[in-house]
Structure 1
Amino acid sequence: MTDIDTHDTDTPDSGAQRAGFAAIIGAPNAGKSTLVNRLTGTKVSIVTQKVQTTRFPVRGIAIDGDAQIVLVDTPGIFTPRRRLDRAMVASAWGGAQDADVVVHLIDAASHIASEGKTGTAADRKSAEDTETIIANLKATQQQVILALNKIDGMRRDTLLALSHTLFESGVYSEVYMISAATGDGVDDLKSRLAMAMPVGPWLYPEDQSADVPMRVLAAEITREKLYLRVHEELPYAAAVETTAFDEKADGSARIEQTIYVERESQRPIILGKGGQTLKWIGQKSREELIELFDRPVHLFLTVKVDARWQESRALYAQFGLEYDV
């Protein structure tokens, strides 16, 4: 639903193909991956309880009428401390600068909570990251669409007050209120993004829903299952690398992956008693990979301790991240 409307009233020519890029930016855990998955209608980005789970721009492909929207799900933008942090933030801003339209997604519930006594440290950090994003957008003078997410159960007057406050920053051309989880308001946003696409031929085949290399997608699926299982015990000191992806003569895929942790004490957390945790991660990952690839998958996982995995150029290259930032 559009509450502050400065929409372009021009309508696309009927039957003219349109195609372009829409970048989704925001603070960690704003719901960017959930929104991209909702817009494409399929699993493109991993979604977990943890913030900062998206580490590189993921391209999901959505169709709306004659328009093809290539959605760039960027890593959450936050204050970077490590090399990986810097690479992720640089990747997010790069995705925004190269897009035809930018959507700034904000967790409305968290943002409002940050202003009250009930707000958590995470709420306040998210609000700080949002202010940083707004300041950077002001500096670039880039007009963007504001999407207030997670509006479920929130009072309309509260949402309107928040939208007006943010709109006064001068950064946004319009505001949408959505719930990426339920789909409320998402179709309106999708239609707006379709209108923003430039006239031109589609960039991908009609039946393609994502532009992510299979070996990278496989690594991301396993990393998602890893965090789903041990999210309370394991910090962000873990990565998954697909070290082999072989197409077999019988049509199946043989995938070898390495899970990297930084300390020896983290290894038994992933293995679990009698290897049961690693077995669960492998089983759940394999089940989803079979569904995604529509073929039998043989998955082999290895856990390695490498205190300097965040300095591995190979891992950065796998995800298309700049190493020297």
Structure 2
Amino acid sequence: MTDQHAGFAAIIGAPNAGKSTLTNRLVGAKVSIVTQKVQTTRFPVRGVALAGDAQIVLVDTPGIFAPRRRLDRAMVRAAWGGAEDADAIVHLVDAPAQLGDKPADHRAQIDVESIVEGLKKAGKKVILALNKVDAVKRDELLAISQKLFETGVYDEVFMISATTGSGVDDLKARLAALMPQGPWLYPEDQTADLPARLLAAEITREKLYLRVHEELPYAAAVETTAFQERKDGGVRIEQTIYVERESQRPIVLGKGGQTLKWIGQKSREELIQLLDRPVHLFLHVQVDEKWADKRAFYGDLGLDFDA
């Protein structure tokens, strides 16, 4: 067993850089939810990738941005925490956003600058991965790469597309080479390290955002309140969807409850595949304007309430 290698690789970056998509691509299975919402990932999610004799435990971290409230601060601290003890760090940068002049692009550019400053302070040497390169001209990519390399925090660069997989195998091979010698940390067939209750809540939250991402603000949460094994081999799952205002409740319910029914159906279909058994899912919608200020919510996600 001495020829085995295993370690941790943290993927950090600004919100919407494509970290969850890259993690899923490297693992070869879905371990992180992906939506068009910024800051979808709220806590570090571990995905397990295999490359030859190496096991790479990928830490998909929340986006790093200027925090405004308690949940934001906890997420940013978790992101930096995921990088602190990693054997390798990948800074994923949305290449098109570095060239754009939209407000969202400006925010992304500022976030990248703040991450660079944070890496300088930490004295970390990092792999730069420019993402979505299929949407940028080669000379522009080289200019972005050169500008970032001049900061002194990177020792190599990979041009990738997390969506299509272009360049990802080369990045995976490099991460495998950086993993220290030692026995694998997870069984060969395990692709993620996420409790079933939390996985179920994340899947439902993904469907919620996919369905009502334009009408519903970022401030919504899903909690698995019951996860009960059934005698028939199935599982009964009860979940509460929290929104902050009464006016948001009808958005989640939809006319005649159709929106909530769709969310539940799509979530149940995916959970049946992931858990490989019958799933009985029951959803409730609750208004709680203080859900993001409850200590128990942070503990369940492994976040620091006092960040």
2:82 paired residue number: 95
Residue aligning to 2:118: 136
Aligned residues between the structures: 307
Cα distance, 1:15 vs structure 2: 7.2
Query: Match of 1:61, SS?
Result: strand
User: In 1, Cα distance between the equivalents of 2:120 and 2:135?
Assistant: 31
Q: For 1:213-232, what aligned pairs fall within 5 Å after superposition?
A: 213-232=195-214
The alpha-carbon deviation at position 249 of structure 1 amounts to 1.4
Does the CA contact (< 8 Å) of 1:15 and 1:66 recur in 2? no
Return the alpha-carbon distance in structure 2 between the equivalents of residues 265 and 297 of structure 1: 30
- 2:53 & 2:253 partners in 1: Cα distance? 49
- Deviation readout 1:132-158 (Å, 9 max, x if unpaired): 000110111100000000011321111
Please tell me whether residue 233 in structure 1 is matched to residue 220 in structure 2: no
Which residue number corresponds to residue 34 of structure 1?
21
Q: Distance in 2 between matches of 1:160 and 1:153?
A: 14
> TM-score, length-normalised on structure 1?
0.93
Question: How far is 1:315 from its partner?
Answer: 1.4
Query: Is the counterpart of residue 177 in structure 1 residue 164 in structure 2?
Result: no
Which SS does the other structure have where 1:152 is aligned?
A: helix
Flag the 1:15–1:177 CA change in 2: closer, same or farther, 3 A.
farther
* SS of aligned partner of 1:62: strand
Whole-Å separation in 2 of the counterparts to 1:80 and 1:153: 29
Partner of 1:152: 134
Query: Is 1:211 matched with 2:198?
Result: no
1:207-266 CA-to-partner distances (Å, cap 9, x unmatched) read: 000000110010000000000000000001100000111111111010000000000000
Deviations 1:34-58 (A, max 9, x none): 0000000001000001110000000
3-state SS of the aligned residue for 1:71?
A: strand
Is the counterpart of residue 109 in structure 1 residue 96 in structure 2?
yes
| Aligned counterparts of 2:99 and 2:53: Cα–Cα separation in 1 | 38
Q: Could you tell me which residue of structure 1 aligns to residue 32 of structure 2?
A: 45
- 1:1-325 equivalent positions in 2, closer than 5 A: 16-113=3-100, 119-325=101-307
Runs of 4+ in 1 over 2 A off after TM superposition: none
Opposite residue 92 of structure 1, the aligned amino acid is A
Distance 1:69 1:216 in 2: 22
Q: Which amino acid aligns with 1:305?
A: V
- 3-state SS of the aligned residue for 2:238? strand
CA contact (8 A) 2:2 2:182 kept: no
Deviations 1:258-310 (A, max 9, x none): 00000000000000000000000000000000010010000000000001000
- Give the AA of the match of 1:21: F
Mapped to 1, the partners of 2:163 and 2:63 lie a distance apart of 18
Separation of aligned partners in 2, 1:120 and 1:261 = 29
Q: Which amino acid aligns with 2:204?
A: T
Q: Which amino acid aligns with 2:72?
A: D
**Which residue identity lines up with residue 295 of structure 1 in the other structure?**
R
Q: TM-score, normalised by structure 2?
A: 0.99
Whether the aligned pair in 2 keeps the contact of 1:49 and 1:228 (CA below 8 Å) is: yes
Residue identity opposite 1:46 in structure 2: I
Q: Is the 8 A contact 2:95 2:141 kept in 1?
A: yes
SS of the residue aligned with 1:223? helix
% identity of equivalent residues: 73
The range that moved more, 311-320 or 163-172, is 311-320
Q: Per-residue displacement from partner, 1:151-203 (whole Å, max 9, x unpaired)? A: 11321111111111111100001000000000000000000000010000000
Residues 69 and 197 of structure 1 are in contact (CA less than 8 Å); yes or no, is this contact kept in structure 2? yes
Give the Cα separation in 1 of the matches to 2:242 and 2:248. 10
For structure 1, list consecutive stretches of 5 or more residues without a partner in the other structure: 1-13, 114-118
1:112 Cα deviation from its structure 2 partner = 1.4
What amino acid is aligned across from residue 126 of structure 1 in structure 2?
Answer: A
**In the alignment, is the contact (CA less than 8 A) between 1:19 and 1:68 conserved in 2?**
yes
Q: Supply the distance in 2 between the matched residues of 1:17 and 1:257 (Cα, whole angstroms).
A: 40
